[in-house]
């Protein structure tokens, strides 16, 4: 029998999980064993009776740093870890993309290390070949909220989790485009009307309108994505607008 997609999270706050992952689509899929979640308390691998996981940074500076020996012992204790990529969530990491999320969802699962304090000793990051990933240009109190977001993004792509698989083909970042705007009842709200084309019943016109809206939104809001989209659609074409100030 094929093993379900498995997520293992190493954290000093295991009680923060499953959190939102225990509800909605991810929660139902967890109950149906379409995926599994394991939490490992980093403090269980501390060498002293106080369960200390951090220490002062060499070279001085504010805050504390997570010890490499503690983190390494915890990572080495994860069952089946070599078969799954191990990600360390940090603002210093490579920005997470939907393409990377899809790759992770298509694999056997992942192991996530949640940083705290001023981060993790770089030696263990290099020694255990951790993949450093950033949720965005923001700083959180710890890696746990980012881990929840990452796992949720992967789980919704697993077979059987989302009711209509077709909906996954018409959302943001497909073809490097943002999603088109959505409308529902009532037809008129506060003097604002639903675009006529969406009421026309003409499927080709609706598809063309949605594509145009997606392209306009991407070009104006995310010129970085638009440049990639243009490169995909027209290899060798100009890389798009020079501005890069939208985020």
In angstroms, the CA 238 to CA 2 distance is: 46
Domain ranges in the chain with CATH number 1.10.1270.20: 170-233
Residues of the chain with CATH 3.40.1280.10: 5-155
From CA 216, how far away is CA 180, in angstroms rounded? 9
Cα angle 50-54-55, degrees, rounded to a multiple of 5: 105
Question: Nearest CA to 134 among 88, 90, 104, 87?
Answer: 90
User: What is d(CA 161, CA 145) in angstroms, rounded to the nearest whole number?
Assistant: 21
Q: How many CA atoms lie less than 13 Å away from 75 in the CB half-sphere?
A: 25
Whose structure tokens read 């995909």?
232
- 5-155: CATH number: 3.40.1280.10
The tokens describing 161, both together, are: 């989790």
The reply to whether omega before 129 is within 30° of 0 (cis) is no
**Which residues, in sequence order, are CB contacts of 190 under 8 Å at separation 6+?**
none
Residues sharing a CB contact under 8 Å with residue 36, sequence separation 6 or more, in sequence order: 4, 5, 6, 7, 30, 109
pLDDT 10s digits, 103-128 = 999 999 999 999 999 999 999 999 99
Task: Give the model's pLDDT for residue 239.
Answer: 39
pTM: 0.87
- How far apart, in whole angstroms, are the C-alpha atoms of residue 228 and residue 137? 20
- List the Cα angle 146/149/150 in 5-degree steps: 85
Give pLDDT, residue 241: 35
Model pLDDT, residue 235: 61
What is the CATH topology of the domain spanning 170-233? 1.10.1270
Instruction: Flag residues of the chain having pLDDT under 70.
Output: 1, 164-172, 233-247
Please give the Cα distance from 28 to 30 (Å, whole number): 5
């Amino acid at each position: 029998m094929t093993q379900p997609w498995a997520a293992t999270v190493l954290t000093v706050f295991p009680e923060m999980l499953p959190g939102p992952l225990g509800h909605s689509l991810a929660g139902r899929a967890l109950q149906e064993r379409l995926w599994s979640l394991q939490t490992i308390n980093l403090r269980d691998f501390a060498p002293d009776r106080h369960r200390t996981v951090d220490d002062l940074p060499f070279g001085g500076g504010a805050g504390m740093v997570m010890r490499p020996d503690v983190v390494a012992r915890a990572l080495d204790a994860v069952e089946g870890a070599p078969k799954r990529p191990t990600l360390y969530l940090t603002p210093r990491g490579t920005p997470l993309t939907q393409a990377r999320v899809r790759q992770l969802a298509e694999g056997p699962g992942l192991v996530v290390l949640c940083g705290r304090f001023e981060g993790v000793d770089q030696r263990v990051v290099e020694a255990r070949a951790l993949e450093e990933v950033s949720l965005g240009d923001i700083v959180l109190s710890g890696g746990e909220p980012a881990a929840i977001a990452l796992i949720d993004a992967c789980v919704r792509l697993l077979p059987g989790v989302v009711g209509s698989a077709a909906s996954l083909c018409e959302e943001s970042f497909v073809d490097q485009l943002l999603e088109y705007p959505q409308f529902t009842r009532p037809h008129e709200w506060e003097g604002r009307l639903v675009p006529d084309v969406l009421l026309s019943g003409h499927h080709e016109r609706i598809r063309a309108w949605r594509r145009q809206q997606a392209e306009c939104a991407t070009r104006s809001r995310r010129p970085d994505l638009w440049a990639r989209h243009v490169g995909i659609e027209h290899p060798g074409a100009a890389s798009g607008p020079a501005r890069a100030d939208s985020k």
